[in-house]
Amino acid sequence: MGIPRKGRILQNIGSSWSALAVNVVVGIFLSPIIVHRLGDTAFGIWVLIFSVTGYYGMFDLGIRTSIVRFVSKYVVTKEADKLASHVNTSLFTYSVMGLVAFAVTVFLTLYLDRLFRIPAALQPQARWLMLMAGCSVALGFPLGVFGGILDGMQRFDLTNWSGILSSLLRAVLVVLVLRRGYGLMMVTAITVIMPILTSILRGVLVFRLLRVPIALKYVNRESFRQMAHFSAMTTIAIIAAQLRFRTDELVIGSMISAAAVTYFSIGVRPVDYAQQLVASMAQIFVPMSSELEAGGQMDRVRKVYLAGNRACALTVFPITAVIVILGKSIIEVWMGAKYVAISYPVTVIIAIPVTLFVMQAASGRILIGMGRHAQYAQVVFAEGIANLVLSILLVPPLGIVGDALGTAIPMFLTTLWFLPRHMRKQLEVPITVFLREAYTLPFVLLLPVVAVLLLLQNWFYPHHLWQLVLQVTAAGIVYGIGLLWAYKTGRILKISESATARPVLGEEVAAASALRDRFGEEA
């Protein structure tokens, strides 16, 4: 017997948050060790190279998302032949993309010193780092099919627990090699090998659960056309995401220095962790909305839209408050006082627009799940271009702060102006209803947290870990009490029936009634 829907949702969210918690703890623990052992420049090269290989995500072409959508569909409809065709066609296409990524890696490895300002003494290591990271990502394309299949089956728990095992093992190995005196190359080797082993483990799990046949005879044009039709706009969204979040390090590395990348990375890392936390929860809305929309249950899609974004806000609001109010202390305790003056302004500038973006994380996932993400993808792509242009223009006069502003300004426009209005058109939920249902409760619960943090800041400024933990714990207790009250009173899950009904229907009935009255009077 399958897990009930609510139980499955809680299981997926719980495992996603567990995986992210492990990644955050590992990142917080490893980052200062790596920075202080390798130095600012070497760590900056590390971040820069992995930002470059992050652009390989553009070769995905939306295939991963199509796997999630169609696997979830064909598993429910029990169309085994179509499932096998889609999986094998995706695997073949991914293999071709992996070869393209390998060719790009070879090119970048040869010309790396001409693209970025890397000290001559570190250029050989940087080239090997580029080659290793690029080859790992290239191999990860075909292997990534198995993770997509698990997500399409809504077995995020298996994806997440395998990721947890990988993260913990990676952390242990990195600490061991650093203590034994090894440097950047060995740390890179561990970092690129672990995802490959994790993907192989997921492949074993897939074959135990689904037993999808793998053979060239299942690769066909019809599945490719179906995949390409769905993935076209998803590809634009993927490219937009790369422009939105991956250009910063490249611009800084090419226009300032590798060391400056380290300062920028430290500033944005707390915000990245908050974004990942919400994204790990929001990913469940892709197969969920796909399944509901296919069954014609649009009222439930609207409920997922409102409740999902409320959950995103409940998650990110208190984290943003901690990051903004305690950001200086976080950076000082985590990485060292010398990074505060330069990195903290980046943290604040990035935190606000990213919060506005992730508090609506469910919206984008629902659009993808329903296959209605074309216009959204185009707008986000335009935002990414604007991000790149503004960053290039603002870095010379303002440094890394200018790059942060280049990211923040276009994101404000997308999140505040476009996305709520676009969702109103797609789901016919008025913006006022959306704001009331999704954000009233999170905002009310946030106010006591902000008050407690500001009062504690006036009492004493935390310079040590125990002081920081004390303030965060106090704020967490206050927020936990608020959540408990909301849960006990039923407010945390309650969505009014009128909010999920189709509003336009009421308007059409009223208009028809008015016309009848008018014609009746004239008669």
The tens digit of pLDDT for each residue in 123-165 reads 888 888 888 888 888 888 888 888 878 877 777 778 778 888 8
pLDDT digits 0-9 by tens, 42-94? 778 777 777 777 766 666 666 777 777 777 777 767 777 878 887 888 888 88
Task: Between 254 and 60, name the one with better pLDDT.
Answer: 254
CA–CA distance, 449 with 323 (Å, rounded to integer): 12
Which residue did the predictor score with more confidence, 313 or 241? Answer: 313
Query: What is the arithmetic mean of pLDDT over 507-511?
Result: 41
Report the C-alpha gap between 135 and 98 in whole angstroms.
9
Q: Is residue 481 scored above 90 in pLDDT?
A: yes
Residue 469, C-beta contacts closer than 8 angstroms, at least 6 positions apart? none
Q: Are 325 and 450 in contact (CB under 8 A)?
A: yes
The average pLDDT across 408-431 equals 89
How does residue 11 score in pLDDT terms, banded at 50, 70 and 90?
A: low
Q: Is pLDDT of 115 > 50? A: yes
Q: What is the mean pLDDT of residues 167-181?
A: 83
Q: What is the distance between the alpha carbons of residues 493 and 489, in angstroms, rounded to a whole number?
A: 10
510: pLDDT strictly greater than 50 = no
Per-range mean pLDDT, top range of 244-253, 372-381, 391-400, 494-503: 391-400
Integer Cα distance of 432 and 191 in angstroms: 46
In this predicted structure, the answer to whether residue 179 has a pLDDT above a threshold of 60 is yes
According to the 3-state scheme, what is the secondary structure of 69-80? HHHHHHHHHCCH
Mean pLDDT throughout 423-439?
90
Using an 8 Å Cβ cutoff, are 500 and 302 in contact? Answer: yes
Q: What residue has token string 């900056």?
A: 44
Give percent of the chain above pLDDT 70.
Answer: 85
Is the confidence at residue 317, as pLDDT, over 90?
yes
What are the residue ranges spanned by the domains of the chain? 1-232, 246-523
